[in-house]
Structure 1
Amino acid sequence: MDQTIGLDAKKRESSFCEEKIYPLRRGERNNVVLTVQVRADGAPYDLTGKEARLVGTTADGKLIGPCPLEISDAKAGTGSLTLPASMCSAVGTTHAYIEVREGETLVETTDSFACKVLECADMDAEQAEEATPLIVELRDAVASAKRAAEGADAAASHQPRIGGSGTWETWDAAAGAYADTGVAAQGPRGDAGPQGAPGKDGSDATATDVQIDGTSVTSNGVANVPKAGGGELGVVWVDRSGRNGVSLGTDGELRLNHASNALITARSGSRPITASNFDDAVQSAMCDGEGAAWTAAEQAAARSRMGIDAAIDAKLGVIENGSY
Structure 2
Amino acid sequence: MTEQRGGAPQHSATDETIAALAVRLRAADTGGWTADATRALIVRLGWGWSESPTVFTGRSTGDARLRPVGKYEERYVGGEAYVELAVPVRRAAPDAASQAEAFRVAKDELTATLGEASIMGVHGRLAPFLGAVQSWGSPYLRWRGERDTLELRAGPTGPELVLRPTDPAENWFVRQGNGEEHAISGFFGFRPDASNGGLTFPGGWKARSWETVTRALADFLTTLPAETSALRTPMWMPIYGRIEGKGAPILFDVDCGDRLMLACFAGEDVDASALGWGTSADHPKTGRPWPDTRHPRLRIDAGGPGEPSGQELAETIVATARAMGVVSPEDLLIGAEAGEVGAYRVTFYGLGLSMA
- Higher RCO (Cα < 8 Å, 6 or more apart): 2
Normalising by structure 1, report the TM-score: 0.18
Tell me which structure has the larger Cα radius of gyration.
1
- More helix per residue: 2
Normalising by structure 2, report the TM-score: 0.17
